Amino acid sequence: MSRGSSSNERARLHWRCRRGMLELDVLLQNFLQRGYERLDPGERVWFERLLEYPDPLLIEYLMGRLVPTDGDAARVIDKIRHTAGH
Protein backbone atom coordinates (compact mmCIF):
# COMPACT_ATOMS: atom_id res chain seq x y z
CA MET A 1 0.00 0.00 0.00
CA SER A 2 1.39 3.40 -0.90
CA ARG A 3 2.00 6.04 1.74
CA GLY A 4 -0.85 8.18 0.37
CA SER A 5 -3.39 5.37 0.40
CA SER A 6 -2.18 4.27 3.84
CA SER A 7 -2.68 7.82 5.10
CA ASN A 8 -6.15 7.97 3.53
CA GLU A 9 -7.05 4.60 5.05
CA ARG A 10 -5.92 5.74 8.50
CA ALA A 11 -7.95 8.96 8.21
CA ARG A 12 -11.02 6.99 7.13
CA LEU A 13 -10.65 4.61 10.07
CA HIS A 14 -10.09 7.52 12.44
CA TRP A 15 -13.49 8.93 11.52
CA ARG A 16 -15.17 5.52 11.71
CA CYS A 17 -13.81 5.10 15.25
CA ARG A 18 -15.64 8.23 16.36
CA ARG A 19 -18.74 7.05 18.13
CA GLY A 20 -21.70 8.33 20.10
CA MET A 21 -20.17 7.07 23.35
CA LEU A 22 -17.05 8.66 24.81
CA GLU A 23 -15.86 5.30 26.16
CA LEU A 24 -15.93 3.81 22.67
CA ASP A 25 -14.16 6.85 21.21
CA VAL A 26 -11.34 6.43 23.71
CA LEU A 27 -11.00 2.66 23.32
CA LEU A 28 -11.15 2.62 19.53
CA GLN A 29 -8.95 5.68 18.94
CA ASN A 30 -6.36 4.32 21.36
CA PHE A 31 -6.35 0.98 19.57
CA LEU A 32 -6.08 2.64 16.17
CA GLN A 33 -2.99 4.52 17.38
CA ARG A 34 -1.34 1.74 19.39
CA GLY A 35 -2.55 -1.62 18.10
CA TYR A 36 -3.99 -1.48 14.61
CA GLU A 37 -0.64 -1.82 12.83
CA ARG A 38 -0.07 -5.19 14.52
CA LEU A 39 -3.24 -6.70 13.04
CA ASP A 40 -2.90 -9.08 10.12
CA PRO A 41 -5.01 -8.37 6.99
CA GLY A 42 -7.85 -10.65 8.10
CA GLU A 43 -7.97 -9.04 11.52
CA ARG A 44 -8.09 -5.61 9.90
CA VAL A 45 -11.17 -6.71 7.98
CA TRP A 46 -12.74 -7.81 11.25
CA PHE A 47 -11.83 -4.53 12.92
CA GLU A 48 -13.76 -2.71 10.20
CA ARG A 49 -16.69 -5.10 10.59
CA LEU A 50 -16.74 -4.39 14.31
CA LEU A 51 -17.02 -0.68 13.53
CA GLU A 52 -20.36 -1.48 11.88
CA TYR A 53 -21.77 -2.91 15.13
CA PRO A 54 -24.17 -0.72 17.13
CA ASP A 55 -22.55 1.14 20.02
CA PRO A 56 -24.45 -0.70 22.80
CA LEU A 57 -23.33 -4.12 21.52
CA LEU A 58 -19.77 -3.02 20.86
CA ILE A 59 -19.34 -1.57 24.35
CA GLU A 60 -20.66 -4.82 25.87
CA TYR A 61 -17.99 -6.75 23.94
CA LEU A 62 -15.21 -4.33 24.80
CA MET A 63 -16.12 -4.26 28.49
CA GLY A 64 -16.12 -8.07 28.55
CA ARG A 65 -19.78 -8.36 29.51
CA LEU A 66 -20.54 -10.28 26.29
CA VAL A 67 -18.32 -12.44 24.07
CA PRO A 68 -18.80 -12.49 20.29
CA THR A 69 -19.83 -15.91 18.99
CA ASP A 70 -17.50 -15.54 16.01
CA GLY A 71 -13.94 -16.50 16.95
CA ASP A 72 -12.35 -13.97 14.58
CA ALA A 73 -14.40 -11.14 16.06
CA ALA A 74 -13.53 -12.34 19.57
CA ARG A 75 -9.79 -12.29 18.77
CA VAL A 76 -9.93 -8.69 17.54
CA ILE A 77 -12.03 -7.66 20.55
CA ASP A 78 -9.41 -9.27 22.81
CA LYS A 79 -6.64 -7.32 21.07
CA ILE A 80 -8.53 -4.05 21.51
CA ARG A 81 -9.15 -4.87 25.18
CA HIS A 82 -5.51 -5.85 25.71
CA THR A 83 -4.31 -2.56 24.21
CA ALA A 84 -6.65 -0.72 26.58
CA GLY A 85 -5.37 -2.69 29.55
CA HIS A 86 -8.65 -4.56 30.24
What's the predicted TM-score (pTM) here? 0.86
User: Residue 69 belongs to a domain with what CATH number?
Assistant: 1.10.150.250
Predicted confidence at residue 86, as pLDDT, reads: 63
Residue 55 has pLDDT above 60, yes or no: yes
Query: What Å distances lie between residue 39 and 7, 8, 30, 43, 66, CA to CA?
Result: 17, 18, 14, 5, 22
Angstrom distance (rounded) from CA 69 to CA 1: 32
In the chain, how many domains are there? 1
In the predicted model, what is the mean pLDDT of residues 16-43?
Answer: 95
What range does the domain containing 64 cover?
3-84
